[in-house]
Structure 1
Amino acid sequence: MQTPGELLATLPLGTRVVVRHRISGGFTDSLGDLMSLDASTCTVRTRRGDDVVRLDDVTAAKTVPPAPPRRAPRRRPTGDGPDR
């Protein structure tokens, strides 16, 4: 069976992934594009910025489909109708 680090090593850079890894007090996920990978770390570009994750801390990893398109922002009422 392939380890999460081995899976990440087979993926082309730019692949959208989710990487579960240990943090102080538990686990967290990094969801985004795989930007770099070396012998000890991988970098996932998330909406909040780049997460550099130690491969020793990775417990699971998989590819995920592209993100859905972002919704347009809601427009404020123009005042033409009744207030809600």
Structure 2
Amino acid sequence: MTREPPDHAGRAPAPLPWMAWRPGERVVVRYRAPDGVHDALGDLLEVAPDAVVVQTRRGAVRVAAATMITGKRVPPPPGR
């Protein structure tokens, strides 16, 4: 197993919280885009260190890690 190099201040890199999520879980991810801040709410399709893909009501949304502000698991919608 390789170790991640420390950051410029000598600290270990922060863990990537979304890497604990699993496809099929319902999540919400807040992210920045050129036109403002958006939320992707829906079922998680893919998880990677550099991005997640969320199936929203409007289609699949790829959110790059560099644009993520926050995110979390959420319960299923009412009636589901």
Would the TM-score normalized by the shorter structure come out above 0.5? yes
Aligned pairs (5 A) from 1:1-84: 6-69=16-79
Runs of 4+ in 1 over 2 A off after TM superposition: none
Deviates more, 1:22-31 or 1:5-14: 5-14
Q: How far apart are residue 25 of structure 1 and its match?
A: 3.2
Alignment partners' CA distance in 2, 1:63 and 1:9: 12
Cα-Cα RMSD: 1.8
Task: Name the SS for the 1:56 alignment partner.
Answer: helix
**Structure 1 length-normalised TM:** 0.71
Report how many residues are paired.
Answer: 67
CA distance in 2, matches of 1:63, 1:54: 17
Which structure has the larger Rg? 1
TM-score by length of structure 2 reads 0.75
Q: Which amino acid aligns with 1:61?
A: G
